């Protein structure tokens, strides 16, 4: 993308002076490139797939409430913009929110901080960057007789988001996002077992190849382990959770339960309650380098910051967007985001903002390396991958199939296991069992996975449904 996008600014110019304030326009210009793999070769290339559109939101007083009208469209013509404003006005007559008014960010709100959200090589030459990455991905498989890539894809999205409102602000944020999916298949050998397959799915902001060969070695070992894995015994177990598993659980559940949306529904924990183990501290950090939720501003134009959600086990204040902040008489926290954490998409203009976490950061502890955490746990399950965690933001529960894990015996990693389920509740009331208040060990090094940066955690007392 060489030219700058002015999507929201163009629409705002057409609306200014004709549409009654307050209103905001969020626009996106996007390009998407895809490489699809069949075995060790590229089966199909797609791109650039181009998309440009905007979402218009306006606010109208209705007694003690606000009428909120939202419309999205890809029609940037004068007629399309006029139709969007008419439809938004019609929606605002019926869609009510329990806030008397909303104060949109203005030019007096100040500027946002610098944060890296773009892979420069990908932005400048996406075709070459993708081809180089796939080459680096497939090269470590060369010469392997029993472990091969079965299928996969690498999808890269380039987004330039713009925002303007009736207060006159103009924001622009560039982002890159990469979605990797690859299945590694293991077969052959003297044991005569059926083939095993290990699936890798990742979402990142960059196409870094650092350490990729070592990762492929690990994936191949996991695929071999799948072939010989047996079910895990049932019961309440010590479970060691790496960041990749936690990333499928914590952001979706804590992002909602620690939000103004949950508070409005009286489902959020009370600030000041001790609902996590004393060593647990969690931040919401919208300025984390290459975090999927990072940007100088949120999707409503408020500057992003780093703030505490859990401090040494004690619950902090929830995350607020503009509407929930107004309804609950709090200042906004820069947590107005578009899209769904449960079904993320490569475009966001089609969604109105809602309060959610940006990037969660679990502060590392003194539990040491993964090997030291296993030694502390003594017996249980080292969970490598769930099929899908099924995080439920409302109940706070999660649970999924064990795609691959390892028994912990006498403080060491032992035989591989698979099948059955692991689950529990992330956040519960004082004295009730939950993942957060059952954390017994926190690793010393955090790793970024999507929009979670966390160390490995040892949790006591998660339910395992396995063999018997």
Give the domains, in start order, of the chain with CATH numbers: 7-228 (3.30.2290.10), 235-465 (no CATH)
**Which pLDDT band, with edges at 50, 70 and 90, does 444 fall under?**
very high
* pLDDT, mean of residues 362-371: 96
Question: Using one digit for the tens of pLDDT, what is the confidence trace for 44-71?
Answer: 999 999 999 999 999 999 989 999 999 9
* pLDDT, mean of residues 218-224: 96
Nearest residue to 283 via CA among 305, 247, 310, 303: 310
* pLDDT, mean of residues 195-220: 94
Cα-to-chain-centroid distance, residue 405 = 23
**Which pLDDT band, with edges at 50, 70 and 90, does 437 fall under?**
very high
- Answer with the residue of higher pLDDT: 381 or 432: 381
**Which pLDDT band, with edges at 50, 70 and 90, does 340 fall under?**
confident
Question: Using one digit for the tens of pLDDT, what is the confidence trace for 169-187?
Answer: 999 999 999 999 999 999 8
pLDDT score recorded for residue 109: 65
* pLDDT, mean of residues 31-36: 96
pLDDT score recorded for residue 439: 97
352 is written with which tokens? Answer: 């109105």
**Which pLDDT band, with edges at 50, 70 and 90, does 468 fall under?**
low
Q: Which residues of 72-90 are buried (b: 16+ CB within 10 A; e: fewer)?
A: bbeebeeebbeebbebbbe
Task: Give pTM, 2 decimals.
Answer: 0.94
Q: Which residues of 354-366 are buried (b: 16+ CB within 10 A; e: fewer)?
A: bbbbbbbbbbbbe
pLDDT score recorded for residue 343: 74
* pLDDT, mean of residues 358-365: 97
Residue 91 has pLDDT above 90, yes or no: yes
**Which pLDDT band, with edges at 50, 70 and 90, does 191 fall under?**
low
pLDDT score recorded for residue 467: 73
CA distances to 107, 127, 169, 293 from 111, rounded to whole Å, are 9, 33, 10, 18
Question: Using one digit for the tens of pLDDT, what is the confidence trace for 236-277?
Answer: 999 999 999 999 999 999 999 999 999 999 999 999 999 999
Question: Using one digit for the tens of pLDDT, what is the confidence trace for 267-314?
Answer: 999 999 999 999 999 999 999 999 999 999 999 999 998 999 999 999
pLDDT score recorded for residue 145: 85
- Answer with the residue of higher pLDDT: 345 or 143: 143
**Which pLDDT band, with edges at 50, 70 and 90, does 359 fall under?**
very high
How far apart are alpha carbons 84 and 73 in whole angstroms? 7
pLDDT score recorded for residue 108: 67
Cα-to-chain-centroid distance, residue 59 = 29
* Interacting residues of 361 by C-beta distance below 8 A, sequence separation 6+: 282, 283, 284, 285, 288, 306, 446, 452, 453, 454
Question: Using one digit for the tens of pLDDT, what is the confidence trace for 110-165?
Answer: 667 889 999 999 999 999 999 999 999 999 999 998 999 999 999 999 999 999 99
pLDDT score recorded for residue 5: 74
Q: What's the distance, Cα to Cα, between the start and end of the chain in Å?
A: 56
DSSP for 407-418 reads EEETTEEEEEE-
Bond preceding residue 48 cis, omega within 30 of 0: yes
Strands 65-73 and 306-311: unpaired
415 is written with which tokens? Answer: 């035989």
* pLDDT, mean of residues 442-462: 96
**Which pLDDT band, with edges at 50, 70 and 90, does 95 fall under?**
very high
pLDDT score recorded for residue 229: 95
Residue 1 has pLDDT above 60, yes or no: no
């Amino acid at each position: 993308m060489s030219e700058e996008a002015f999507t929201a600014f163009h629409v705002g110019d057409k609306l200014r002076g004709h549409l009654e304030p307050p209103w905001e326009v969020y626009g996106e210009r996007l390009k998407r490139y895809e490489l699809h793999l069949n075995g060790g070769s590229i089966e199909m290339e797609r791109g650039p797939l181009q998309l440009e559109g905007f979402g218009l939101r306006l606010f109208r007083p209705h007694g003690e409430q606000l009428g909120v009208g939202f419309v999205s469209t890809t029609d940037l013509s004068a007629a399309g913009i006029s139709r969007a404003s008419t439809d938004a006005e019609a929606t605002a007559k019926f869609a009510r929110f329990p806030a008397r008014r909303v104060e949109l960010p203005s030019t007096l709100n100040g500027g946002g901080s610098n944060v890296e959200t773009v892979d420069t090589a990908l932005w400048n030459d996406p075709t070459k960057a993708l081809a180089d990455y796939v080459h680096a991905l497939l090269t470590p498989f060369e010469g392997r007789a029993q472990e091969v890539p079965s299928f996969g894809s690498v999808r890269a999205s380039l987004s330039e988001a713009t925002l303007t409102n009736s207060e006159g602000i103009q924001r622009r944020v560039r982002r890159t996002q990469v979605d990797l999916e690859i299945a590694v298949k293991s077969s052959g050998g003297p044991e005569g077992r059926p083939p095993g397959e290990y699936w890798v799915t990742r979402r990142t902001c960059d196409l870094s190849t650092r350490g990729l060969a070592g990762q492929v070695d690990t994936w191949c070992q996991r695929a071999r382990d799948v072939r010989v894995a047996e079910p895990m015994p049932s019961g309440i177990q010590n479970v060691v959770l790496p960041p990749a598993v936690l990333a499928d659980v914590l952001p979706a559940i804590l992002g909602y339960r620690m939000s103004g949306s949950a508070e409005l529904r009286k489902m959020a924990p009370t600030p000041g309650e001790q609902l996590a183990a004393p060593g647990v501290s969690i931040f919401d950090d919208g300025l984390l380098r290459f975090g999927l939720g990072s940007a100088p501003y949120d999707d409503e134009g408020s500057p992003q910051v780093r703030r505490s959600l859990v401090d040494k086990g004690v619950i902090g204040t929830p995350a607020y967007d503009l509407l929930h902040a107004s309804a609950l008489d709090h200042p906004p926290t820069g947590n107005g985001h578009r899209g769904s954490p449960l079904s993320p998409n490569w475009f966001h203009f089609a969604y109105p903002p809602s309060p959610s976490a940006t990037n969660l950061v679990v502060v590392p502890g003194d539990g040491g390396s993964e090997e030291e955490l296993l030694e502390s746990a003594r017996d249980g399950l080292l969970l490598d991958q769930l099929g899908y965690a099924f995080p439920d933001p409302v109940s706070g529960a999660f649970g999924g199939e064990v795609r691959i894990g390892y028994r912990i015996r006498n403080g060491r990693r032992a035989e591989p296991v698979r099948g059955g389920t692991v689950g529990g509740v992330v956040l519960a009331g004082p004295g009730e069992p939950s993942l957060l208040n059952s954390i017994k060990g926190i690793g010393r090094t955090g790793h970024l996975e999507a929009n979670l940066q966390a160390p490995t955690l040892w949790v006591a007392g998660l339910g395992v449904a396995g063999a018997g």
